[in-house]
A and B are shown apart, each in its own frame.
Chain A
Amino acid sequence: MADVKLSGVHKYYGNVHAVRGVDLTIADGEFAVLVGPSGCGKSTLLRTIAGLEDPDDGTINIGGAVVNDLRPRERNIAMVFQNYALYPYLTVGENIAFGLRARKTPEIEIRKRVSEAAEMLGIGNFLQRYPRQLSGGQRQRVAIGRAIVRKADLFLFDEPLSNLDAQLRDEMRTEIKRLHHEITTTMIYVTHDQVEAMTLADRIVLLRDGLIEQQGAPLELFEQPRTGFVAGFLGSPSINLIPGILRTDNGGAAVAFQAGEGLNLPSAKARLLRGANGQQVLVGIRPQHFSRAGGGPLRDGVVPYSAVADLIQPTGTRTFTTIKIGGVDAVAELQAHDVSSHGERIDLAIDLNRVVLIDPASGLVIA
């Protein structure tokens, strides 16, 4: 068990500044997910914590000790790799025991821990087999087994589910979450998949261009993004961003789109926008905040909007419908049977209480 503290970590690859001064504290027992688009430095950061890369600047502190000068094997960490990294010439049992043998653990203890781990992961029947005789999901279990038998202070996962098909990925995601509940070791998990990040994390650390863009609990990042990038990265389908111009007067505020359309903003938002009259903004509306208008009176902050359904993508539970707002395509997530045909005119209600307004110049959320 250990906490992790990074301060001022920089990493260069030749001329590429991959990690540009990261400060990060991960509490003991926390499940932290490093997420971001490819090239954001998340894997580099993880490898730096593991000791597989040396930082060019800054300190890495695990369990209260600076480990910059320690080799990977001296950091008492366990790591699961994207391509499983199983030794093809060893059986499953020998693969799981590899780290324990390397550390000269007594053979009785090895056997006990291997069978415990295999039991926990449901691979007890495969111990005599070779990795090539296993499916992708089973191999990933073996890789996880190899990590948990070590009883390390810190678990690192480098995109462990990327090579699995969608269904298996859902299954393994659940297992990893359960595993964390059972063994409560600090875990740092790298992924580019925002669904994995949202579902697994106690805390999401969203990286962009080698810097932390925002960190916090999953729902905090989802509902209160600090930048347009965070708003756009989390959520599926992505948030709709519609360009417009702010109009404020007498404590009220509205956004005017091109072609004369506009939306009145709730008073809570209007209060934050005093003096911003005439400013260009991107209006961020999540697909989930659209609904079919019921005909009755609308709640505070909910505005009516009439649109024509263009593309219709039913998923079974929900139907994603592409409509035009302010001259741009936007996706509305409606009930399965809310819309039936292309070209149908639908009366929608948009919940603007959770709208985000982004300054297009700075990328920051202003309200």
Chain B
Amino acid sequence: MRIGKLPARKARILAVRYLGAGTVTLLFLFPVYWLFMISFKTPDEIYHVPPLWIPGQIQFSNYYVLFKDGDVLAILNSLIVAGVSSGIAIVLGTLCAYSLARFGTGGENLAMWIISQRMIPPIAVVFPIFLIYVYLGLVDGYFGLILLYTAFNLPYVIWMMRGYIVDVPLELEESALVDGLNRWEVIWKVVFPMVRPGLMATSVFTFVFAWNDFLFALVLTRTEVITFPVMLTHYFGGQSNFWAKIAAMSVLGTLPIFVAVSVMQRYLVRGISLGAVKG
């Protein structure tokens, strides 16, 4: 093979591959592109026929309206609810997972029993939960949603983290115990660094679950704590849809996930593939 130049046959195969990959990527990215574009368009441009690929000029009035009317508080609410609930679920879940993995807590079947909680269709439990929440006065507050998302994320965290912790060689922990650490220090200084990629990947998924939840947020909130997905539905009217607001709000709602995934990308790939081997 000549250096710097591929044989014609190989070059053709490569070209077809790139073409295929490029087409698929375009197909998937198009809705995202369209969403971004709409968020920058004026009402005239949004309804323009034929559709405009690029707005005449980038303008932020659609976003400005969201800030002026206080609609962005929904993003803040989502951040608080999703952030706090994933934080709690990760801490509690990792400790539970450690107990399952290292002390065999609950015998062989407890882990399976725990993950099976996650398989319940949410719609089946949402109304009983609503009634209980009404009775306890938890509807339409941060605490209620955080409690719920923590409960729903815990089985997932326990299941994933158990897999990662089982993979940590036991001798590392035993060596640390002999060397002078107590059990809590072992978890903090040995287990935690060893499972970091898995922990990061799991955190992203729990955050995304809480962030994206629509059903529970719709049923359990009213006016005080409206989360981002619920807020979006307010823009679909009986008479007309506020496409500008929908697009701008959607972009704002996508950004935190985009940032989280970008920051965690390096852990995500390793974490997910680790879990694929065992978990």
Q: List A residues at the B interface (Cβ < 8 Å).
A: 50-52, 71-73, 77-79, 81-83, 85, 87-89, 98-99, 102-103, 146, 150
Contacts and interface: CB of A to CB of B under 8 A. Distances in A.
B257 interface: no
B180 A99 contact: yes
Given A83-B169, A85-B169, A87-B172, A72 B193 contact: no
Interface string B172-214: 1011111111100100001001100000000000000000000
A150 B179 contact: yes
Interface residues of B, number: 16
A78 B178 contact: yes
A258 to B, nearest CB: 51
B193 A79 contact: no
Given A89-B193, A89-B194, A81 B175 contact: yes
Query: Which of B169, B172, B175, B190 has its CB near the most chain A CB atoms (within 10 A)?
Result: B175
Interface in B123-144: none
B10 to A, nearest CB: 35
A102 B176 CA distance: 9
A78 to B, nearest CB: 7
A78 B179 CA distance: 7
5 contacts: A50-B178, A52-B174, A73-B182, A79-B178, A81-B171
Contacts of A79: 174-175, 178
A73 B169 CA distance: 19
Contacts of A82: 171
Given A71-B177, A102-B180, 8 more contacts: A72-B174, A73-B178, A73-B181, A77-B178, A79-B178, A81-B171, A88-B194, A89-B194
Contacts of B190: 87
Contacts of A87: 172, 190, 193
Query: Which of A77, A78, A81 has its CB near the most chain B CB atoms (within 10 A)?
Result: A81
A188 to B, nearest CB: 13
B194 to A, nearest CB: 7
Contacts of A71: 177, 182
A3 to B, nearest CB: 19
Given A89-B193, A89-B194, A102 B179 contact: yes
A71 B176 CA distance: 12
A130 to B, nearest CB: 13
A89 B190 CA distance: 9
